[in-house]
Amino acid sequence: MDGNVFADFHISVTYSRRVPKSLCVFKIDGFEPFTPLAAGEAFAFFEWGLNWCVTSYLHTWLTVHSAVLERHGRALILPAPPGSGKSTLCASLLLNGWRLLSDEMTLLDPDTGLVTPFPRPVSLKNQSISIIRSRDKDVIIGPIALDTMKGTVAHMRAPVDSLRRAGEKVLPAWVIFPQYIADAPANLTPRGKATSFMQLAENSFNQSSQGRRGFNALTRLIDQCDCYDFSYGHLDEAMSVFAALPLPP
């Protein structure tokens, strides 16, 4: 959204019976940008397609590939490539009282420096599905898609409170680059501003296309946040570290 102008997408995932198996088709305004997938991947396909729509067309915000959550009115940004444990960490933080802004991308307003929430189901993959299910017997996880291009995929329902508060923008406080390492102790290490900026820029979908505006937005973000590297092998230890994060001045 930009002022009084509201932009949306008319998207759908529909089934198509084609020999030799049933497929699902993603469409945006009647256009098919992707090759159809197996019918069992429909829910995951919807999520992937929605991400593509946002990162390809919505340039009101600076978008960064990251999970982002809120606590005490400040945002935690977790930029990381696939396989780093980002979504598993995000889901566990949700179960420990953090508010979900997004498990997939940070939408940063370049003019105000605030993060716009984009809450929806958290995408879990492979072993993360059973790990998160075991941490809360009441957690709701949707249908499981097998043998996708990302392995086994399922989605954890977004908390009702996060959805209700989707209009509440948040000032960032922390940028933490997570990395899961099997059986490693939790380790939070301060990270330099310059290298944090460069890696955050690499994780941005549209910083280069925004030119000076995007550069200045990332610079302000890094200047106002505490930056860290974080490695972990056990979620309980990770939760203790994040619970103790100090708020920046």
pLDDT tens digits, residue range 110-127? Answer: 999 999 999 999 999 999
Distance CA 23, CA 21 (A): 6
249 within a domain of the structure (yes/no): no
210 and 103 in a common domain: yes
Domains in the chain, number: 2
Residues 148, 128, single domain; the answer is yes
Give tens-digit pLDDT for 84-114.
Answer: 889 999 999 999 999 999 999 999 999 999 9
Residue 151 lies in a domain: yes
Phi, psi of 59, deg, nearest 5: -110, 15
- The answer to whether residues 67 and 43 belong to one domain is no
178 and 228 in a single domain? The answer is: yes
Instruction: Pick the last residue of a domain from 35, 58, 81.
Output: 58
Which residue do the tokens 């420096």 mark?
A: 113
Decide: 41 and 147 in contact? Cβ < 8 Å. no
Q: What is the pLDDT of residue 166?
A: 93
State the DSSP code for 196: H
Same structural domain, 75 and 51: no
Residue 111 lies in a domain: yes
Q: What's the whole-number mean pLDDT along residues 13-18?
A: 83
For 131-188, write each residue's pLDDT tens digit.
999 999 899 999 998 888 888 999 999 999 999 999 999 999 999 999 999 999 999 9
Which is nearest to 213 in space by CA: 60, 79, 67? Answer: 60
216 domain-assigned? yes
Residues in the chain: 249
Are residues 15 and 119 both part of a single domain?
no
Residue 19 in this model has a pLDDT that exceeds 70: no
Task: Write down which residue in 43, 58, 73 finishes a domain.
Answer: 58
Residue numbers of the domain that contains 227: 61-243
Residue 86 DSSP SS3: helix
Query: At 5, is the pLDDT very low, low, confident or very high (cuts 50, 70, 90)?
Result: low
Torsional sign, CA 28, 29, 34, 38? positive
Using CB atoms within 10 Å of the CB of residue 207, give its burial: 0 to 12 exposed, 13 to 18 middle, 19+ buried: buried
pLDDT for residue 1 is more than 50: no
248 belongs to a structural domain? no
| Same domain membership, residue 103 and residue 52 | no
The confidence score (pLDDT) of residue 129 equals: 94
Q: What is the largest CA-CA distance in the chain?
A: 61
Say if residue 15 is in the same domain as residue 70. Answer: no
Mean model confidence pLDDT for the chain: 91
Within a domain: 29:
yes
Per-residue burial over 110-133, b = 16 or more CB atoms within 10 Å of its CB, e = otherwise = beebebbbbbbbbbbbeebbeebb
Same domain, 199 and 87: yes
Question: Do 181 and 122 share a structural domain?
Answer: yes
Among 21, 43, 58, identify where a domain stops.
58
Across 17-38, average pLDDT: 87
Residues 37 and 122 reside in one and the same domain:
no
Q: Are 99 and 165 in contact (CB under 8 A)?
A: yes
Q: Is residue 76 in a domain?
A: yes
- Pairing relationship of beta strands 171-180 and 74-79 according to DSSP bridges: parallel
Q: Are 50 and 104 contained in the same domain?
A: no
Give me the pLDDT at residue 236, please: 96
